[in-house]
Structure 1
């Protein structure tokens, strides 16, 4: 009990002093997990978005409301690409796909450099689309063939 109290108190002090604030938006591990130990930065109440960073690469993971991993993207200084995790198809300007059946998109993430959208499909799947912030068109157009 005493050690738990000390640990809890130390955590509160660290947060109050700003220690650990650098990890508020990004984490170093947990990619691919249903409920990673990372901040949910989603702009949608229907999805969870977690951001991980390592060696200059930013990883953006999208989970549904139940925690199932739907997909993830990697953003390097030179490329935006889908990762081989999750259940849904992923499209980027570098990895284009034919337009999905349903093109009604919901924004789920925007960090000022990358935006991620989800287009739920009639069969229960979704199309996840990641585009650079300078994509002024519809994300379907920026990621479609």
Structure 2
């Protein structure tokens, strides 16, 4: 009987590991993780942006440089849904939802930067006077879709957006 105990413990451990791995594979898109297994598509050196797609929805997650999730939202056909995750989940503005910002905080619009942009979404980070950041997600302008990509960093820095 004692001879079979280590073998049973090993088998039980392998079964548990197998079940947990398959559960992670089914739900583990990386959304919500500090360092998801996805390409960083950020337009800014100050943020990490990851995108995921599922059932016609595009999910966008923004992390800071330390891997902390700051915001996440879903978008499809110009509609945005803020997900309840991240340190700044209340400080994101979409066409459907306003940000919850302190009445004394002033947006420092001159320091706003584009964090992510594709053919359908534009996301900006706007620092606030209280040291926090507000994010603005909106449908991308049509002028971006027809603009040619910029491959030369020196030339790109001279373009205005």
Q: With structure 2 as the length reference, what TM-score do the two structures score?
A: 0.61
Identify the structure with the greater helix proportion: 2
* 1:78-112 superposed Cα distances (whole Å, 9 cap, x missing partner): 51121111011111011124786124211010012
Greater relative contact order, per chain length (Cα 8 Å cut-off, separation 6+): 1
Uncovered stretches (5+) of structure 2, i.e. residues with no partner: 1-27, 144-161
Uncovered stretches (5+) of structure 1, i.e. residues with no partner: 1-27, 137-145
Look at both structures and tell me which one has the larger radius of gyration over its CA atoms. Answer: 2
For the aligned residues, what is the CA RMSD? 2.2
Pairing 1:87-98 to 2, within 5 Å after superposition: 87-88=87-88, 89-97=91-99
- In the alignment, the residues of structure 2 paired with residue 67 and residue 115 of structure 1 have an alpha-carbon distance, to the nearest angstrom, of 21
Q: With structure 1 as the length reference, what TM-score do the two structures score?
A: 0.68
Aligned length, in residue pairs: 109
The ranges of structure 1 where at least 4 consecutive aligned residues each deviate by more than 4 angstroms after the TM superposition are none
* 1:17-70 superposed Cα distances (whole Å, 9 cap, x missing partner): xxxxxxxxxxx7000111000000001001000001100000000111111111
